[in-house]
């Protein structure tokens, strides 16, 4: 039997509203999947080695559903700009450099190192339009042992020529990466039309066909700023709305969409009907002054809301920071509109673990049958003595960092 037993203070969310807490207990997994949490270890496992983490916390690994790997170098820069100027003045200039594969290798290693250190064990990642550099990113994240979807970015207009491709080249590179990595266990391809303004209707349609033919998921940006929404209306006058443009291109069968701040009534209905996963990127909402996703309203409507760092719209990779910022933004909304309840800690935690984890199958929780993706958290002994498990987790989310993470497991294997 290929078992892993970790012992400590286990805490996770099964539902948004509350934490499940198992003090000083055994978390048992077989073949990478959780079989149960026990106060006393059942006889069947008594011969198995135990990794005893004492009074430390054991929590599900963080899930970042929206992050741009090349932009890691640009974090914290150009934060006085808004989206479209920021893309032109900083982002596109940096992404050009990834055609140099030496540069890409070094930059992506730097990114991957920090991603894993920060406790992100599953991520949906944008690379650049360079197929060869994207291949490098696949190899680096495979080596790290975390779970990821990686997208070569499809873009054929409205950016400097050096990062644009013809539709044919863009599709060919995309298919090449699908062929090479589709059957990987942990690191897989995802279709990544950058956002509607980077594409023509024809390119979107061709990508929709690939999504269907190869059964590959899709990630993109949706309704991040008012100017962008207006631009999309001008570029695609026939579409009912922004989401419909992706929908009628065949891109919403298994899709995750970042931002979704300014959705119309019909778009909310369509997102729900088609099970589109929406990604709240709170740091990016603030930094680029894009707006604030109305998270509570979306949750009340039954939409699927997850979390993303959106580095480098966001300036931090660590998903505990994204959780805290989501709570803080919800409090700003609550100050303006007291009837709108702010997010609880458990809700933000759920969004950054189980809700996002669902995109990768059963991960992000410690319920039976879930993959054991876990972080072991060490806090100060005085804090550990004074406070409950739930309070200690809250404190780690608000004040902790990679230095508090002393072990990481993906599918029951330490990485
Ligand atoms: N929209 C199109 N490209 C980007 C990007 O790189 N970052 C963000 N935040 N929004 C985008
Ligand atoms: Fe983004």
Give the C-alpha separation, 392 to 382, whole Å.
11
Residue 1 pLDDT: 74
CATH architecture of 3-60+364-414: Roll (2.30)
224 in contact with ligand 1, CB cutoff 6 A: yes
158 in contact with ligand 1, CB cutoff 6 A: no
91 in contact with ligand 1, CB cutoff 6 A: yes
194 in contact with ligand 1, CB cutoff 6 A: yes
68 in contact with ligand 1, CB cutoff 6 A: yes
| Residue in 92, 93, 221 to alter for ligand 1 test, most ligand atoms within 8 A of Cβ | 221
Question: Are both 3-60+364-414 and 62-360 of the same fold?
Answer: no
Q: Is the peptide bond before 312 cis (omega within 30 degrees of 0)?
A: yes
Give the C-alpha separation, 198 to 167, whole Å.
11
Per-domain residue ranges of the chain: 3-60+364-414, 62-360
Residue 70 pLDDT: 98
Compute the CA torsion angle 16, 21, 26, 28 (nearest 10 deg).
-10
* 114: DSSP letter: H
Task: Give the mean pLDDT per block of 10 residues along the chain (415 residues).
Answer: 93 98 98 97 93 98 99 98 98 98 98 98 99 98 98 98 98 98 98 98 98 98 98 97 98 98 98 98 98 98 98 98 98 98 98 98 98 98 97 98 98 97
Atom of ligand 1 at shortest distance to CA of 71?
Answer: 6
For residue 330, the number of C-alpha atoms closer than 13 Å in the C-beta half-sphere is 22
**Among protein residues, the one whose CA lies closest to atom 3 of ligand 1:** 194
Atom of ligand 1 at shortest distance to CA of 197?
Answer: 2
221 in contact with ligand 1, CB cutoff 6 A: yes
SS3 label, residue 173: helix
Q: How far is the CA of 345 from the centre of ligand 2 (A)?
A: 24
pLDDT tens track for 36-61: 999 999 999 999 999 999 999 999 99
Residue 198 pLDDT: 98
312 in contact with ligand 1, CB cutoff 6 A: no
Q: How far is the CA of 31 from the centre of ligand 1 (A)?
A: 38
- For β-strands 255-259 and 277-280, DSSP reports them as parallel
Give the C-alpha separation, 296 to 346, whole Å.
14
188 in contact with ligand 1, CB cutoff 6 A: no
Provide the sign of the torsion angle of the four alpha carbons 208, 125, 310, 405, taken in this order: positive
Provide the sign of the torsion angle of the four alpha carbons 276, 277, 283, 284, taken in this order: negative
Homologous superfamily, domain 62-360: Metal-dependent hydrolases (3.20.20.140)
Residue 396 pLDDT: 98
């Amino acid at each position: 039997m290929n078992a892993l037993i970790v012992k400590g203070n286990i805490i996770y969310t099964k539902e948004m509203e509350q934490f499940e807490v198992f003090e000083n207990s055994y978390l048992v997994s077989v073949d990478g999947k959780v079989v149960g949490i026990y106060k006393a270890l059942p006889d069947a496992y008594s011969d198995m080695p135990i990794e005893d983490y004492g009074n430390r916390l054991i929590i599900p690994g963080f899930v970042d559903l929206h992050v741009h790997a090349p932009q890691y170098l640009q974090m914290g820069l150009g934060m006085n700009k808004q989206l479209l100027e920021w893309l032109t003045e900083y982002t596109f200039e940096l992404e050009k450099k990834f055609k140099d594969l030496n540069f890409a290798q070094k930059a992506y290693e730097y990114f991957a190192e920090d991603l894993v250190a920060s406790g992100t064990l599953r991520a949906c990642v944008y690379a650049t339009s360079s197929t060869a550099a994207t291949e490098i990113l696949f190899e680096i994240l495979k080596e790290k042992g975390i779970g990821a979807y990686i997208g070569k970015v499809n873009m054929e207009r409205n950016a400097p020529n050096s990062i644009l491709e013809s539709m044919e080249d863009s599709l060919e590179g995309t298919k090449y990466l699908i062929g090479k990595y589709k059957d990987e266990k942990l690191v897989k391809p995802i279709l990544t039309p950058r956002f509607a303004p980077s594409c023509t209707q024809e390119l979107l349609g061709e990508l929709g066909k690939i999504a269907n033919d190869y059964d590959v998921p899709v990630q993109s940006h949706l309704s991040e700023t008012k100017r962008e929404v207006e631009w999309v209306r001008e570029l695609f006058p026939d579409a009912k709305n922004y989401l419909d443009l992706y929908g009628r291109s065949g891109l919403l069968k298994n899709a995750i969409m970042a931002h979704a701040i300014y959705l119309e009534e019909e778009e909310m209905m369509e997102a729900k009907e088609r099970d589109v996963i929406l990604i709240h990127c709170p740091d990016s909402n603030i930094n680029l002054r894009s707006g604030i996703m109305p998270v509570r309203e979306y949750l009340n409507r039954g939409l699927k809301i997850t979390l993303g760092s959106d580095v480098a719209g966001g300036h931090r990779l660590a998903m505990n920071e994204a959780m805290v910022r989501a709570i803080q933004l919800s409090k700003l909304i609550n100050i303006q509109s007291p009837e709108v309840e702010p997010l609880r800690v458990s809700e933000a935690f759920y969004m950054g673990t189980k809700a996002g984890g669902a995109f990768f199958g059963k991960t992000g929780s410690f319920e039976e049958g879930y993959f054991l993706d876990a972080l072991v958290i060490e806090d100060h002994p005085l804090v550990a003595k004074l406070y409950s498990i739930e309070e200690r987790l809250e404190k780690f989310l608000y004040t902790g960092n990679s230095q508090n993470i002393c072990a990481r497991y993906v599918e029951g294997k330490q990485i």
